[in-house]
């Protein structure tokens, strides 16, 4: 009798500890996200309210902040720019890298091994080491000041990691699949696009997620490449220059911040499950 | 070496068609600029004049002999990297262990901690600048706590702490996800066996979980290392290098020399030094950590 009650007491204490831990963690996560809440909160206030009390909730929702910033930075245009850059970059990275990684992984020769190292080596080069010369080169081949040009540049910047991840994954695809497809009369591009590429889907998802977050939010490369004219700017760049001009108008600054990050948050909420899985697959294999 | 290319012409051609595009892209993005960087680093050049002057290794001499900006930026970067790597990994492992316990709110918690990671670092910097400058005042007034009354961006020591804190806040979700994945591959029966042998939770963590987490630690430290050596965006928007130039990182210092002071040759020489440093440090880190890993 005694032992049973002792045992029960112990599980009872464990459960209480678990609930306490759970409550603590949820509170911690709310504190963790509080800065973002403050940003949204203050984007909905008037200048006076922001200045008098940052923590208080808005007395009246100042949606005019949003319409002001929307037209001031030409939001639809920036959104389109971001989309063009990200889509052009992503499609190119996936096409160019998957096909090369497949061939390099399948060809067993010294030459192919050397080329593979040549492809992934740039992962060790810090962007700051080459940023000036990238800009010069881009000017020479007329890729600067154009969203398409910037998208094209990302092909090379995204390729090393993508080749690395695809290369590792192709090893796991049996060679017999290639052989039977060849016997059925498919070879070259046909074999790759109708047989191999569909099998690469899990890695392609990972690469899409990693690269979309990176290209959409990138700052330094767009700053060097497309900052010249308002019609080619990206959301992050516009938010950066906007805050530079309106350092004291915090209500507009916060609105611009929120508007710049909102698309990523919305996409994240919808694709959350894939994103976390994708990061794990990409990072753990990498 | 060219054995594979010696077979049939069509195979050679196919190999070329498949691999050439990526090689051209990578050459344009990395190798050609890198070669140009090496050339520029030997010049005295403001980027405008038609005839840059060849000065050999003078840029490097000048950097190592006495460039106070570079020395303090290098020192800042080293301090930042060490504190950031330790903090982000220790905190992420701690959180991951808790989130691996299958609490009811696990899904929400993972999402919550991951959200800052999807935001651009420049914007994160601005949001925090607003909070440090405006928000802390209100928070101090409503709570009366002294920590909100400190000058978090205006005093060199505190500005350093702020930069590290904001970076950790932004990126911890990423490391958390890697560690959760690592923890899920630790076999349950090993932990149970240890419990039967009388090991407490702390002992189990040290002797079983941590060694089996080694591959995740290697990857996370590698990522944290490469990212912290290149720290730039968050500083640009949070402190702008201030107060009094105490928070310039190497990357920021290079940016300042090349694009703000128009010292193209000098800046690229620093960039080359950064590259060599990154190469050496990452190779050492990878070989050290790989040796300590155990296969689960």
Least confident of A155-159, A254-258, B52-56: B52-56
Q: Nearest C-alpha of chain B: how many angstroms from A245?
A: 13
| Whether residue B125 sits in one domain with residue B18 | no
What CATH number does residue A87 fall under? 1.10.3720.10
Residue A277 pLDDT? 73
Chain A residues inside the 8 Å CB shell of B131: 35, 38, 54
Contact of B258 with chain A, judged by CB distance below 8 Å, is answered with: yes
Interchain contact B13–A (C-beta under 8 A)? no
DSSP state of A57: P
- Same domain for B27 and B118, yes or no, is no
| Residue pLDDT, tens place only, A158-182 | 999 999 989 988 988 999 998 888 8
Across the interface, do A132 and B105 touch by the CB < 8 Å criterion? no
Let me know whether B17 and B87 are in one domain. Answer: no
Residue B54: inside a domain: no
Residues A38-57 have a mean pLDDT of 88
Would you call A136 and B36 a contact, using CB atoms and an 8 Å cutoff? yes
Q: Which residues of A touch B250 (CB under 8 A)?
A: 128
Q: Is residue A140 part of a domain?
A: yes
Determine contact: B64 vs chain A, CB below 8 A.
no
Alpha-carbon span B285 to B283, nearest angstrom:
5
Instruction: Assess if residue A239 is contained within a domain.
Output: yes
Determine, for residues B22 and A159 on separate chains, whether the beta-carbon distance falls below 8 Å.
yes
Interchain CB distance below 8 Å, A156 and B15: no
pLDDT of residue B21 exceeding 70: yes
Best to test chain A binding among B3, B113, B121, B123 (most A CBs inside 10 Å): B123
Tokens representing residue B28 in the block: 């344009």
Same domain flag for B114 and B35: no
Are residues A12 and A146 part of one domain? no
Please compute the mean of the pLDDT values over residues B10-31 and round it to a whole number.
94
Report angle CA B110, B115, B119 to the nearest 5 degrees.
155
Which residue, A107, A279, A133, is CA-closest to B117? Answer: A279
The reply to whether B17 and B76 lie within a common domain is: no
Most confident of A185-194, B146-155, B266-275, B286-295: B266-275
User: Are residues A30 and A101 located together in one domain of the fold?
Assistant: no
User: B73 and B155: one domain?
Assistant: yes
- B258–A132: do the CB atoms touch at under 8 Å? yes
Cβ contact, residue pair A100, B40, below 8 Å: no
Q: B256, B32 in Cβ contact below 8 A?
A: no
Does the beta-carbon distance from A109 to B114 stay under 8 Å? no
Indicate which CATH number applies to the domain containing B239.
Answer: 1.10.3720.10
Phi and psi based region of residue A142 (left: phi greater than 0; alpha: psi -120 to 50; beta: remaining): left
Q: How distant is the Cα of B157 from the closest Cα of chain A, in angstroms?
A: 22
Measured between CA atoms, the residue of chain A closest to residue B279 is A124
List phi, psi (to 5°) of B241. Answer: 95, -15
Instruction: Give me the pLDDT at residue A186, please.
Output: 80
Query: For A50-64, A140-154, A214-228, B27-41, which range has the lowest pLDDT when averaged over its residues?
Result: A50-64
Estimate the share of chain A in helix, then strand, then coil, as percent rounded to the nearest 5.
Answer: 80, 0, 20
Contact A147, A84 (CB under 8 A): yes
The confidence band for A6, taking pLDDT boundaries of 50, 70 and 90, is: very low
Residue B126 lies inside a defined structural domain of this protein: yes
The predicted structure's pLDDT at residue A284:
54
Q: Is B92 a member of any domain?
A: yes
Structural domain of residue A10, as residue ranges?
2-43
- Rounded to a whole number, what is the distance in Å from the CA of B223 to chain A's nearest CA? 9
pLDDT for A246 equals 67
Residue A106 pLDDT: 93
State which residues form the domain around B14.
2-40
CA distance to A236, B77, B221, per residue, from B249 (Å): 21, 5, 19
**A230 and A105 belong to one structural domain:** yes
**Among partner residues A35, A127, A130, which is closest to B127 by beta-carbon distance?**
A35
DSSP symbol at B232: -
What is the spatial distance between Cα B184 and Cα A283, in angstroms, rounded to a whole number? 15
What percentage of chain A has pLDDT greater than the value 70?
92
Radius of gyration of chain A (CA): 25
Report the complex ipTM.
Answer: 0.86
Among A131, A213, A243, select the one facing B126 at the smallest CB separation.
A243
* Residues B114 and B6 both lie in one domain: no
Would B284 be classed as within a structural domain?
yes
Q: How many structural domains compose chain B?
A: 2
Q: Which residue stretches of A109-200 are H helix? A: 110-120, 127-140, 147-170, 175-183, 189-191, 197-199
pLDDT of residue A286: 40
What's the CA gap between B219 and A224, in Å, rounded? Answer: 30
A81 lies in the same domain as A10:
no
Kindly state whether residues B11 and B132 are assigned to the same domain: no
Interface mutation target, options B118, B153, B234, B282, chain A, most CBs of A under 10 Å: B118
Say if residue A143 is in the same domain as residue A229: yes
Which H or E run includes A41? helix A2-43
List residues bridging with B53 in a β-sheet: B44
Same domain, A14 and A82: no
Per the domain annotation, does B271 fall within a domain? yes
Number of domain units in chain A: 2
| Distance separating alpha carbons of residues B87 and B94, to the nearest angstrom | 11
What is the pLDDT confidence band of residue A13, given thresholds at 50, 70 and 90?
low
Say if A282 is an interface residue toward chain B (CB within 8 Å). no
| Within-domain flag for B174 | yes
CA dihedral A169, A171, A176, A182 (to 10 degrees): 70
pLDDT of residue A93: 97
Whether A184 is covered by a domain: the verdict is: yes
């Amino acid at each position: 009798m005694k032992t049973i009650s002792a045992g029960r007491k112990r599980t009872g204490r464990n459960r209480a500890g678990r609930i306490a831990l759970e409550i603590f963690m949820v509170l911690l996560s709310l504190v963790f996200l509080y800065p973002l809440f403050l940003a949204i909160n203050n984007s909905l206030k008037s200048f006076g309210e922001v200045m008098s009390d940052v923590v208080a909730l808005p007395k009246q929702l100042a949606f005019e902040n949003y319409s002001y910033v929307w037209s001031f930075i030409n939001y639809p245009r920036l959104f389109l720019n971001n989309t063009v850059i990200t889509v052009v970059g992503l499609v190119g990275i996936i096409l160019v890298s998957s096909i090369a990684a497949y061939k390099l992984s399948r060809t067993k020769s010294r030459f192919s091994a050397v080329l593979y190292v040549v492809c992934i080596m740039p992962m060790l080069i810090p962007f700051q080491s080459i940023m000036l010369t990238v800009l010069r080169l881009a000017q020479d081949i007329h890729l600067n000041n154009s969203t398409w040009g910037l998208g094209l540049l990302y092909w090379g910047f995204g390729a090393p990691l993508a080749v690395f991840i695809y290369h590792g994954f192709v090893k796991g695809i049996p060679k017999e699949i290639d052989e039977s497809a060849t016997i059925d009369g498919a070879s070259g591009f046909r074999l790759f696009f109708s047989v191999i590429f569909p099998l690469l889907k899990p890695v392609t998802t990972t690469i899409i997620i990693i690269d979309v977050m990176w290209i959409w939010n990138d700052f330094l490369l767009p700053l060097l490449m497309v900052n010249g004219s308002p019609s080619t700017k990206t959301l992050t760049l516009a938010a950066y220059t906007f805050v530079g001009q309106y350092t004291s108008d915090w209500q507009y600054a916060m609105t611009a911040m929120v508007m710049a990050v909102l698309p990523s948050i919305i996409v994240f909420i919808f694709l959350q499950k894939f994103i976390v899985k994708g990061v794990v697959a990409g990072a753990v294999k990498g | 070496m060219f054995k594979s290319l010696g077979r049939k012409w069509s195979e050679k051609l196919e190999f070329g068609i498949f691999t050439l595009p990526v090689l051209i892209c990578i050459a344009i993005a990395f190798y050609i600029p890198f070669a140009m960087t090496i050339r520029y680093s030997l010049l005295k050049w403001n980027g405008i004049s038609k005839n840059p002057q060849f000065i050999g290794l003078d840029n490097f001499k000048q950097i190592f002999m006495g460039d106070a900006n570079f020395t303090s930026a290098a020192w800042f970067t080293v301090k930042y990297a060490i504190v950031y790597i330790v903090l982000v990994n220790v905190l992420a492992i701690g959180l991951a262990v808790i989130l691996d316990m299958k609490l009811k709110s696990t899904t929400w918690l993972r999402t919550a901690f991951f959200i800052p990671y999807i935001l651009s670092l420049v914007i994160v910097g601005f949001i925090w600048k607003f909070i440090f400058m405006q928000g802390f005042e209100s928070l101090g007034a409503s709570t009366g706590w002294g920590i909100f009354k400190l000058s978090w961006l205006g005093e060199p020591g505190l500005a350093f702490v702020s930069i590290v804190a904001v970076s950790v806040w932004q990126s911890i979700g990423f490391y958390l996800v890697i560690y959760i994945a690592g923890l899920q591959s630790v076999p349950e029966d090993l932990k149970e066996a240890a419990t039967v042998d009388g090991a407490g939770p702390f002992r189990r963590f040290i002797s079983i979980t941590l060694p089996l987490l080694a591959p995740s630690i290697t990857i996370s430290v590698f990522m944290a290392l490469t990212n912290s050596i290149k720290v730039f965006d968050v500083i640009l928007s949070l402190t702008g290098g201030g107060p009094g130039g105490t928070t310039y990182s190497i990357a920021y210092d290079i940016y300042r020399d090349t694009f703000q002071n128009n010292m193209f040759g000098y800046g690229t020489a620093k960039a080359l030094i950064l590259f060599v440093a990154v190469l050496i440090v990452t190779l050492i880190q990878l070989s050290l950590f790989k040796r300590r890993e155990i296969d689960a």
